[in-house]
Amino acid sequence: MDCIYLSNIRCYGYTGFLPEEQILGQWFEVDVTLWLDLSEAGKTDALEHTLDYRNAIATVQQLVQVTKYALVEKLAETIATSLLELQRVEQVKVKVSKLAPPIPDFSGKIAVEITRIKQP
């Protein structure tokens, strides 16, 4: 199976356990791997034989910016489920990173990564 990689999709969103995270928001970064058959696109050079990744990026941006969840895990699952609905996508890996989590004395980021397969 072939892959399309979309990395460093930065969005301002409102997912977090603390009330202020859902009010004030924070920056997130999303990386996505989409598995699909790209052989026909490689032969024809035609957009209709691949995934228009602009749609995938817009889906991720919309979900991060509009939804409010307590857990990053829920946000990642929602993104994965939505991307699996795109035409030709058979499997997806989604990594959602919270770039500045409100944790005292912690200057790193946290991330959740999940992989999901389209169910028949």
Active site residue ranges = 98
CA angle, 6 then 76 then 37, to 5°: 45
Closest C-alpha among 53, 60, 70, 65 to residue 27: 65
Query: Is the CB of residue 80 less than 8 Å from the CB of residue 114?
Result: yes
Asked if 36 and 19 count as a contact pair (C-beta separation under 8 A), the reply is: no
How far apart CA 77 and CA 48 sit, in angstroms, is 27
